[in-house]
Amino acid sequence: MRQTLSLPDTPASLLPLVLSAMADTPDARLRQLMASLTTHLHQFVIDNAVTEAEFERAVQFLIDIGQATGPKTNEVILAADLLGISTLVALLNNPSGEESADSHAALLGPFWRANAPACPMGANLARTDCDGTPMEVCGRVFGADGRPLAGAIVDVWQADPKGLYENQDPDQPDMNLRGRFETDADGGFFFRTVTPAGYPVPTGGPCGELLAAQRRHPYRPAHLHFMVSRPGHKVLITQVFTAEDRYLQSDPVFGVTQALVGRFEHTQRDGRPLTRLSHDFHLCAGEMVFPKPPIP
């Protein structure tokens, strides 16, 4: 008599076998994540009757984003950003209450660099003459108990008025428009810079092709990035956007929430235009863990 073997013979019969093969994974969280991911992927393939050619194309996309990732850009993170996954993870892990309305988290993006220069209070982030409207940014950092936090580090990075980060643009000096400030006894910080411009996410790689195929524009609304840290507190990674940007409601990476639209003031000093922004940050108690820089 032939022995009945546990072998798959229909699309739906495969999943239980795969799940059972992974069931002894000792790490419980890895076991749960891989079982759930595998279940969703199997269902996706079945629901969409994915063809062999489509599977090959998907594999090629993953190879392409890996190969397009290098010292200047991180195409894998960009892919996650364009699918809304990076923003989803930020929203899920950083619920924001009323009292911390200024402190919604936002995606990190691909351009943060560790070890930006430590700057004295009031320093200018521009390490070269920049065209564009000068800007002054101030604010305070508060702890979970609502008290001002002295000695917190406010790490800032931004694109220049042409919409390029320093490491995308050979014409900008190293670490241009990046800096770290330490808050004073009142939790305050203050720096000078140049008003950022909106810019397209990198479109030269496979993610650009995907955007074009989906008829999506690549323009992020103008913003400043902040990473605020202090031992004993969860690192706050966020962005602050200008209110008047035409792309505010169609950010290709879905990073804009109402609380992240900054109170930018467009004023004048000595007859010259000046932008001012005042923005506070509220940290939650927790472990101070920094992300791995997406680029070196």
Minimum distance from residue 134 beta carbon to ligand BEZ (Å): 22
Give the single-character DSSP code of 102: G
Minimum distance from residue 111 beta carbon to ligand BEZ (Å): 4
**Partner touching 130 among Fe ion, ligand BEZ, none, CB below 5 to 8 Å by kind:** none
Residue 109 binds ligand BEZ (CB under 6 A): yes
Nearer to Fe ion, 109 or 252 (CB): 109
For residue 281, what are the β-bridge partners?
A: 141
Minimum distance from residue 190 beta carbon to ligand BEZ (Å): 23
Residue with tokens 């411009």: 197
**Partner touching 110 among Fe ion, ligand BEZ, none, CB below 5 to 8 Å by kind:** ligand BEZ
| Contact between 149 and 283 (Cβ < 8 Å) | yes
Cα distance between residue 77 and residue 67, in whole Å = 13
Size of site (CB under 6 A) for ligand BEZ: 8
Candidate residues 110, 179, 196, 262; the one interacting with ligand BEZ per rule CB under 6 A: 110
Minimum distance from residue 126 beta carbon to ligand BEZ (Å): 18
**Partner touching 279 among Fe ion, ligand BEZ, none, CB below 5 to 8 Å by kind:** none
Residue 178 binds ligand BEZ (CB under 6 A): no
Cα distance between residue 44 and residue 126, in whole Å = 48
Instruction: For residue 194, give the nearest of 158, 153, 154 by alpha carbon.
Output: 158
Minimum distance from residue 112 beta carbon to ligand BEZ (Å): 8
Nearer to ligand BEZ, 78 or 105 (CB): 78
The separation between CA 253 and the C-alpha centre of its own chain, rounded to angstroms, equals 8
Structural element, H or E, at residue 226? strand 223-229
Output the CA angle 218-222-227, nearest 5 degrees. Answer: 105
Radius of gyration of the CA atoms of the chain, in A: 23
Residue 196 binds ligand BEZ (CB under 6 A): no
Residue 198 binds ligand BEZ (CB under 6 A): no
Nearer to ligand BEZ, 78 or 116 (CB): 78
Cα distance between residue 59 and residue 74, in whole Å = 18
Backbone angles phi, psi at 192, to 5 degrees: -110, 150
- Residue 140 burial (CB count, 10 A): 20
Q: Which residues, 6 or more positions from 201, have their beta carbon under 8 angstroms from its beta carbon?
A: 78, 81, 82, 207, 211, 218, 220, 252, 253
Which residue has the closest beta carbon to ligand BEZ? 109
State which of positions 206-265 bind ligand BEZ (CB under 6 A).
220, 253
Query: Contact positions toward Fe ion, by CB under 5 A?
Result: 109
Query: Contact positions toward ligand BEZ, by CB under 6 A?
Result: 78, 81, 109-111, 201, 220, 253
